[in-house]
Structure 1
Amino acid sequence: MSRLIVMLLAAIGLFCAVPSLAQEEQSTAPYAYRQLDDPAKEQQAQDLMETLRCLQCQGQSIADSDAPIAGSMRSLVRERIASGERPEEIRAWLIERYGDYVSYAPQLTSLTWPLFAVPLALVLLAFLLLRRRFRRGGDR
């Protein structure tokens, strides 16, 4: 009976230790969950992090995500802001490294211009069709 109790207690201890080990593994980036000392620089970092997409979660910004890659990206943003880099330089570097998808604020380039032009063309077409339809209705 005592052997069963010892094994049960060991299993419970192991079960309780695993989440703490996993949490320890997530926080390898020094600034993942720690803010910068300078409030102005921290605000710059927060503003930038709100506009960057978590590559693992895809529906959250890196500021909101608990994914390990988001923590690494938050740390990277804070470290670069602390070293004096401007947010747009950091954004450009992240886009170069991970692609346009990482940014919630897409840039107008030779590859992305159709994404901006097609909705405008559709709105213009709808306006012209509606205008034509209502003019015909008024002539009757």
Structure 2
Amino acid sequence: MKLLKTLIAALMLAFVSLPAAAVQPDEMLADPALEQRARDISAGLRCLVCQNESIDESNASLARDLRLLVRERIMAGDNNDEVVDYVVARYGEFVLLQPTTGGWNWLLWATGPLGLLFALVVAAFYLRGRAQAPAKASEGLSSEEQARLDEIMKG
């Protein structure tokens, strides 16, 4: 019975600790379709304070300002791309949770695969050189080393 109570308490704690959207009721748009558009847009925008959360998940005041800005632009008649472009123009591309691959960002996207390719080439050359290296012949101990070893073993 105690195990069951502990399990129930753990499950309740897990549900309570799930991330909740930080969007406040006074921020929401009256039209559900427009509100859904705002949620879709803000899910792809980074909180500049938290840096690892979308503005929908963040409780930071800057995230609230960005959520309100997104809703203002939607109410002004901007489409989704225009809203995102407006926010990026004001805050820079860092505000995007999924950066674009254009411009110099291609270098960031290519760094991982290029690094892996470089490591594979280096490993291939190393293994090839090691396989072609002549094996060292075991010369054994010199007569002086053998005499010293015999002396150590006796005494």
Normalised by the length of structure 1, the TM-score is 0.64
Partner of 1:80: 73
User: Is residue 2:94 matched to residue 1:101?
Assistant: yes
Unaligned runs of 5+ in 2: 1-23, 130-155
Q: In structure 2, what residue type is equivalent to 1:42?
A: E
With a CA cutoff of 8 Å and minimum separation of 6, indicate the structure with the bigger relative contact order: 1
3-state SS of paired residue (2:100): coil
Structure with larger Rg: 2
C-alpha displacement of 1:63? 0.5
**Structure 1 runs of 4+ with >6 Å offset:** 130-136
Percent identity of paired positions between Structure 1 and Structure 2: 37
Partner of 1:68: 61
Q: Distance in 1 between matches of 2:117 and 2:110?
A: 11
Q: Distance in 2 between matches of 1:109 and 1:32?
A: 37
Unaligned runs of 5+ in 1: 1-30
C-alpha displacement of 1:109? 2.6
Partner of 1:48: 41
Normalised by the length of structure 2, the TM-score is 0.58
Contact 1:77 1:90 in 2 (8 A): yes
Where does 1:1-140 land on structure 2 (aligned, <5 Å)? 33-128=26-121
Q: In structure 2, what residue type is equivalent to 1:51?
A: G
Residue 127 to residue 40, structure 1, CA distance change in 2 (3 Å): farther
Q: What is the alpha-carbon root mean square deviation over aligned residues? A: 2.6
Q: Distance in 1 between matches of 2:127 and 2:97?
A: 39
Q: Deviations over 1:43-92 (max 9, x none)?
A: 11101111111112222211011111111110110121122211111111
Q: Distance in 1 between matches of 2:77 and 2:43?
A: 19
